Chains A and B, each alone.
Chain A
Amino acid sequence: MRIRSQWLSMGVVLAAVAAQPSVAAELRDLYFGEALYRAYQGQYFDALERLDAELAQHHRVDEPELDSLQYHIRQADFSVGDFELRYRMHLRAGRAIKAVLDADVEQPVKNEAAYRLARIQFQKDQPEDALHSLERIQGTVPDNIKDDLEFLRANVYSALGRPADAVEVLKRLQGAESLKGFAAYNLGIALLQAGHNAEALRQLEKAGQIDSRVSATAAVRDKSNMVLGSLLFKSTEYGPAQLAFDRVRLDGPYSNLALLSTGWAEVTAHDYQKALVPWGMLIERDGTDAAVQEARLALPFAYSKLQVYGRAALLYGQALDAFGKELEKADASMRSIRAGKFLQALIREEINQDNLWVVRLRTLPDTPETFYLTELMASNDFQTALQNYLDLEDLHRRLLVWQDSFAAFEDLIRLRRANYEPLLPQVDAHFRELDSQMRLRLEQREHLQKRLQDILTAPRPELLATADERLALESLRKIGRALRSGSGAEHDALQARVQRLQGLLTWRLYTEYPERLTQAHKDLRDLNEDVRLLHERYTAFVRARQAAVHSYVGYDQSIKRLRTHVGEALQRVDTLLARQGQVIEAVAIDELNTRRQRLEAYQVQARYAVADSYDRALKQHAGGGTP
């Protein structure tokens, strides 16, 4: 039972199964594509900013089915949740996904939403809620999440203390390629939790021999071997424990612990000579590592057991020196942290641009504040705190830039006002003049159109006469009226000529009427086209006039409001930044104190042991080989 409770604290491992958003089909919305582009770069604030704006616009338009985001709307809804999760906004991500779950959508969409919600709940230590979400999944599950979903279900069962259910699920997942190593290791742990110790050992043996070059899988394999070796060690099966420790890679994250454990397995089996090799290797490694420090005491301990007291005394002496130096380092780290240098180191630009920054941080020059903290910095709680600190620092920078930009906006508005305001009265006066002329021409066109319309119902050829013809007809009418009162042959001849000329003109107007009517319609169409162009220019002018005014009018309230919001947000961010920084520094100092206390205890042991070893060496020398 003791063994079981010890291993329960190890917990299960989580595979990196967070879904990566991607454009499954052809991209139809550029702005959605841009949000994805930002997300792929790890710029989740920018990704969220763009996607929020695009979604808000989509929901605002009158006919969203005509909007280009419509083609990606489901993916966009999920991507918001994904981006929020990755930007460590679990509360908002949960709300967004719950909204999808409660909406009137198809069951496969609900299934995916339920899976995502369960994942968030599990990450936030809410396994009951996670199980409840998983129970909402019904019917078909998309292939791309099927294994991940079952893996999550098994982890939830384990967290709820239902290892038998977890075992059942994990057994089905042993063939899943994407979970290679993870499913095998977790099955071993679940079996252990369920009390099937023999089966658990066999399973961990399998997990410890999985062949993979994928670094995450190799790390889980190392972990399996460490757990297996330690279990066997506790059961006094030193030989098999030794084999398990030997399988741990010498360059992996568990290598130091494996070397240390190998040595102890040999010592416990009373083979002190064999313990010298792993411990000898270990003391050459990074002196801040806890396993290395322990090996500094363990190695001379083995030599003393082999009765090589001189060598033991020498090594204890070296250990004493090393512990002294390490204590100085720990003190330097604490001083550096108290001077605020740890937080400064965390926000160094080159660190933020590197995914492996925790690892690199240790190797950077001039960062004594990070000694002893690599392990601490890799822990989940500390990572969350650190990431929050970095996010707050990023928000602080953004808010400062925005605060500065308001002055630039106001300057821009002032310059635009100074440019446009003197010009506008003159422009407006000219525009009013043109406007009245245009209205007159439009009225004339309306009149012509009406006349042509009337002709179509009651033909009047004289209305299609040319200006010359109208003048000629008028002249003939006048002459005709003047000839009414006269008489005589000459008068009759003149009247006949007038009538002939009138007849000629009337003939022409009647015979050419169809062509003239067609031409008149064609001319009207041409005129309409000219009027349309005139209208366009008129509208463009009105818009340009409006744009000129809108370029400097109506911004005052927005800028004032935003300036207040930015100021308030900056104040909150700065307060949180300081508090978050204090927490980080306090945790770091606590960790250093713990390490310091351990080093002091080692120092006391080494001090005692060095004297004891010298004493025994002297006795051995005096006694000719026997202490």
Chain B
Amino acid sequence: MHKHFLIVMSALLCIWARPSPADESARAQMKGLDEQVQEVKTDVLSIAAELNQLEEKLLYPSDTHLAVFVSLAHGETLRLDAVQIQIDGQLDALRRGGVQRVYSGNIATGTHEIEVSVSAKLANGKDYTQTERFPFTKEIKPKSLGVMLAGPDTPQPGIHLGDW
């Protein structure tokens, strides 16, 4: 029984000094693999960059490229549920999020109208919905629009459109 006691005690006392589950060779192997994984990540990121350029050129040429981003006003406590974007009456994107690209697409040069509808919950639990329409002009260069959202109890409440 005394032997049993010693085995049990040694298990207890060694628990803090327990070596890493992987032995040294496995650790070395893991380290080598880790470096190779980092290298392949770098390669894939560089492919992603090239592919993005190709996609942008092929799918979103600058003369028709339009991107719409949504952000919340600084310090805003609004719990955003949904943002609905309509361009010239067409429903184009519905996503959840804070500072987020909600739309990337193509549109003809000229004057257009964007409609932004917001559904959210205020800090006091009440529902908050708001819809605004804004005109904008698409020129030859790529167009980025920033939609800034703020609740009703803020210095600048409502939906604001910024041209970037």
Contact = CB atoms under 8 A, between A and B. Distances in A.
Interface of A: 6-7, 9-10, 26-27, 30, 33-34, 36-37, 40, 45, 48-49, 52-53, 56, 68, 87-92, 226-227, 230, 234, 257, 260-261, 264, 290, 294, 297-298, 301, 304, 376, 379-382, 384-385, 388, 391-392, 395, 398-399, 402, 409, 412-413, 540, 543-544, 547, 550-551, 555, 558-559, 562, 565-566, 569, 572-573, 576, 579-580, 583, 586-587, 590-591, 594, 598, 601, 605, 609, 612
Contact of A88 (B4, B17, B38): B38
B99 A33 contact: yes
Interface stretch (B51-59, B81-89, B127-135): B51-59
B94 interface: no
Given A37-B98, A37-B100, A56-B49, A227 B40 contact: no
A92 B34 CA distance: 13
A88 B40 CA distance: 12
Contact of B4 (A34, A52, A381, A609): A609
Given A10-B17, A27-B71, A547-B61, A297 B40 contact: no
Contacts of B54: 409, 555, 558-559, 562
Contacts of A26: 74
Contacts of B44: 395, 398-399, 569, 573
B11 to A, nearest CB: 6
Given A36-B99, A569-B43, A381 B11 contact: no
A623 B50 CA distance: 88
B30 A33 contact: no
B112 to A, nearest CB: 17
B123 interface: no
Contacts of B17: 6, 9-10
Given A9-B16, A90-B38, A380-B20, 8 more contacts: A48-B45, A92-B38, A264-B9, A398-B44, A540-B109, A569-B43, A576-B37, A591-B21
A37 B61 contact: no
Contacts of A544: 63
Nearest to A87: B41
B30 A379 contact: no
Contacts of B22: 379, 381-382, 587, 590
B26 A587 contact: yes
A53 B49 CA distance: 6
Pick the most buried of B13, B26, B36, B37: most chain A CB atoms within 10 A of its CB.
B37
A48 B11 CA distance: 46
A586 B43 CA distance: 28
A384 B37 CA distance: 11
Given A90-B38, A550-B61, A294 B71 contact: no
Interface residues of B, number: 58
B70 to A, nearest CB: 10
B41 A89 contact: yes
Contacts of A566: 47
A576 B35 CA distance: 11
Interface of B: 1, 4-5, 7-9, 11-13, 15-17, 20-23, 26-27, 29-30, 33-38, 40-45, 47-54, 57-58, 61, 63, 67, 69, 71, 74, 97-101, 109, 140, 144, 146, 164
B49 A555 contact: no
A10 B49 CA distance: 43
A385 B48 CA distance: 24
B41 to A, nearest CB: 6
B35 A91 contact: yes
A565 to B, nearest CB: 5
Contact of B101 (A6, A34, A40): A34
A586 B16 contact: no
Given A33-B71, A294-B12, A583-B30, A569 B52 contact: no
Contacts of B26: 583, 586-587, 590
A68 B164 contact: yes
B119 to A, nearest CB: 20
Given A37-B99, A540-B109, A605-B7, A547 B63 contact: yes
A393 to B, nearest CB: 11
A230 B11 CA distance: 13
A399 B40 CA distance: 12
14 contacts: A6-B13, A30-B146, A30-B164, A34-B101, A37-B97, A45-B45, A234-B13, A264-B8, A381-B30, A388-B37, A402-B51, A543-B140, A601-B7, A605-B7
A579 B34 CA distance: 11
A88 to B, nearest CB: 7
Contacts of A379: 20-22
B16 A264 contact: no
A245 to B, nearest CB: 11
A564 B53 CA distance: 17
A87 to B, nearest CB: 7
Contacts of B4: 297, 301, 605, 609
Nearest to A416: B58
Pick the most buried of A10, A30, A381: most chain B CB atoms within 10 A of its CB.
A30
Contacts of A68: 164
Contact of B33 (A294, A385, A395, A601): A385
A89 B38 contact: yes
A52 B12 contact: no
A92 B99 contact: no
Given A33-B69, A562-B50, A576 B29 contact: no
Contacts of A395: 40-41, 44
Contacts of B33: 385, 388, 576, 579-580, 583
A33 B164 CA distance: 13
Contacts of A412: 58
A572 B21 contact: no
B1 A381 contact: no
A27 B26 CA distance: 46
Contacts of B12: 257, 260-261, 264, 294
Nearest to B37: A388
A82 to B, nearest CB: 15
Contacts of A392: 37, 40
B16 A6 contact: yes
Nearest to B27: A381
B133 to A, nearest CB: 21
Contacts of B97: 37
